[in-house]
Every structure is written in structure tokens, then in C-alpha cells.
Structure 1
């Protein structure tokens, strides 16, 4: 429909007399040989493909390194927490021993004073 509007009426009448159809009247997009040759000479840089083995090996090493680093920080954090808990337990045990030692001293003093 649009192609009929753009084609002048004189050309349409002349084409009808010569037996040409509307489709053959409408001019298509064409390029010259020079433009095609210039476009063909532009070559994209060739990238070296990463093979499946090399990519798989790189992925494995990257994953192993990332999981190792995560595990290292997790273990260090757990070690720090357990070390703090152990230190608290040692201090609690030390205060308990000192308290028991105080009780034993008072008992010994009482026994010693009763014997005299």
C-alpha cells in the first residue's frame, strides 16, 4: 500500500502499458562493488579460543582456591572462638582452685587450733 503511494501516477500508467507489475517498479536497496569490497576487507581480530580442558582446569583451580580461602577464614574464626572459650574455662578453673585452696587453709587452721 505504501509503495503505491510513493510511485508517481505517470510511472504506474507507463508500467501498466509495458506489462510490469508494481513490485518490479519499486527500486530495491543496492550497493556498489566498491562498498562491498571495503566492508569485506575489515577483519575482526582473531581471539584464541579457550579450550574445554584449559577452561575446566582454570575453573577448578579458581573454585578450589576460593573454597580453600573461605575454609581457611572459617577455621581461623572457629579457632579464635574455641581459644577464647578455653581461656575463659582456664580462668574459671583457676578461681575455683583458689577458692578451694582458701577453704582447705581455713579447715587446716581450725584443725590445728583444735589440737592445741
Structure 2
């Protein structure tokens, strides 16, 4: 295996005679640049404040609508339960009334 100094000595003249390297900059054709500019100008960016306000209002409206339907549903359920309780109370009062009437009839019958 050749020593490192010999390898460097052999490659040094080749490096001196080689053409200097230049870096190539990124380039695009004018047609491609026109498409990029046209596409970029169409999309209007939404500002952070405007987007935040829109999101806040949308979220508030959605939460309000959900809360409205929840409250309406709870009102309907409680109203149905109250109506059932009223009918049960009415039936109990009618049973007690009929029981009291039969007792009064029995007491009136014994008095005679």
C-alpha cells in the first residue's frame, strides 16, 4: 500500500491542471417562474387575527347550537316526567275519593 504523502503528491498536479470548479446557482425558466408567481398570487393568506376570530365565532356558534338542543331535549324529558306524575297523582286522588265515598256510604247505611 502506498504512503499517504505519495498519494497526495501524485494527485497534486492533477488538482493544479484541473479547471476551477464553479458552483451552479439554482435557476428556473421564466415560464416556470410565471406559473409559481400566478399560483402564489391567487391564494390569499388568512391572517392570524382574522382566522382566530373566525374560529372563535364558529366554535361559539357550534357550542351554542349544541347547548340549545341539549336544553330543549332536557326540557322535553322533564316535561314528560312531570306530566306522568300529574296523571299518577290524579289517579291516586280518584282512588282515594272513591274509597272515601264507599266509607261514607257504609257509615250512612249503619246510621239508618
Q: When the two structures are superposed, what TM-score results if normalisation uses the length of structure 2?
A: 0.68
Please name the residue that 1:112 is paired with: 108
Please name the residue that 2:11 is paired with: none
Residue 41 of structure 1 pairs with residue 37 of structure 2: no
1:9-57 deviations in whole A, cap 9, x for unaligned? xxxxxxx6xx645x96xxxx999x8x62332333224222212221121
Residue 81 of structure 1 pairs with residue 74 of structure 2: no
Please name the residue that 2:49 is paired with: 53
Unmatched 5+ stretches in structure 2: 1-13
Runs (4 or more) in structure 1 with deviation over 3 Å come to: none
Structure-2 change in CA distance of 1:30 and 1:62 (3 Å): closer
Tell me the CA shift for residue 93 of structure 1.
Answer: 0.3
Q: When the two structures are superposed, what TM-score results if normalisation uses the length of structure 1?
A: 0.66
Structure-2 change in CA distance of 1:40 and 1:105 (3 Å): same
Greater relative contact order structure (CA < 8 Å, 6+ sep): 1
Distance 1:80 1:64 in 2: 24
Name the SS of the counterpart of 1:94 in structure 2.
helix
Aligned residue among 62, 68, 89 for 2:58: 62
Name the SS of the counterpart of 2:29 in structure 1.
helix
Give the count of matched residue pairs: 98
